[in-house]
Homo-oligomer: A and B are copies of this chain.
Amino acid sequence: MASFWGSREMNILVVAAHPDDEVLGCGATIARLAQEGHAVSILILGEGITSRYAHREDADVTSIAALHARARGVCAHLGARDVALAGLPDNRFDSVPLLEIVKIVEAHVGRVRPEVVFTQHGGDLNVDHECTYRAVLTATRPLSGCPVRQLYAFEVGSSTEWAFQQFRPVFHPNLFVDVTDTLDRKLTAMQMYEGEARSFPHPRSSEALRAQAVRWGAVAGLSAAEAFVLVREIR
């Protein structure tokens, strides 16, 4: 499996809305990129899980801390360099002015100076994904001096497909990454997020994730693939 991302070591940034979205969306690609020598940073915008409580403040501080510890464990497991957590309110990004989310991402882009960015798909059912997408598009707009050359959107099981193509944009992938060698690493990463894995046929179960990777593989002439939308590239 030759490296298609070139021989130079690159800075790569993954911007996810919630802990586990980075795994569901591009966990196997992160592992492959790390193996190929690239430096992958992860930024998670939301705090995770508080939306399961009637009031946000009811969420157990210990549970949140444990979730964040798992995020760091997953980061190490995938071979990424670091993970940052920004703490936006779970499933309530629509209550935050978009401008604030933009500023968080801009600051992070300024620090990491990534050539490649992966982020949530904007047409998802989950409103946090939509806000994340729009914020990343804004924070990485192609001003002279912006380091970002490639921006990709990833899908997330139980959110992208459950939009049933009703929102804009629709997930029509045009990049298929061969993850034959790193798919298992993604599936074990998902199990590390205990609270988030589900039993089949839930789209986040191991069986469903494997079927999804095999299906995308077949679309691209590969044994297993993750699929992405190229939003823009500058060469």
User: Which A residues form the contact surface with B (CB < 8 A)?
Assistant: 4-7, 51, 91-92, 94-95, 97-99, 122, 125, 127, 133-134, 137-138, 141-146, 149, 157-158, 161-170, 172, 174-178, 200-203, 205, 207-208, 210-212, 214-215, 217-223, 230-235
* A201/B221 contact (C-beta < 8 A), A99-B91, A212-B215 known: yes
Identical chains bound together, number:
6
Chain B's closest residue to A103 (CB) is B54
Chain B's closest residue to A207 (CB) is B214
Residues from chain B with Cβ under 8 Å of A166 in the complex: 122, 133, 137, 168-169, 231
Whether A127 contacts B134 by the Cβ 8 Å rule is: yes
Whether A208 contacts B215 by the Cβ 8 Å rule is: yes
Cα–Cα, bound, A177→B233 (Å) = 8
Whether A142 contacts B221 by the Cβ 8 Å rule is: yes
Given pairs A165-B172, A202-B221, 12 additional interface contacts (CB within 8 A): A51-B99, A134-B167, A141-B162, A165-B169, A166-B169, A201-B218, A201-B221, A201-B222, A202-B218, A208-B214, A208-B217, A230-B230
* A233/B230 contact (C-beta < 8 A), A7-B7, A141-B125 known: yes
* A200/B218 contact (C-beta < 8 A), A4-B149, A164-B137 known: yes
Whether A222 contacts B205 by the Cβ 8 Å rule is: no
Select which of B51, B98, B177, B232 is within 8 A of A94 by beta carbon.
B98
A–B complex contacts, Cβ < 8 Å, 7 sampled: A4-B6, A133-B166, A137-B166, A144-B201, A157-B218, A177-B235, A208-B214
Which one of A95, A98, A164 has the greatest number of beta carbons of chain B within 10 Å?
A164
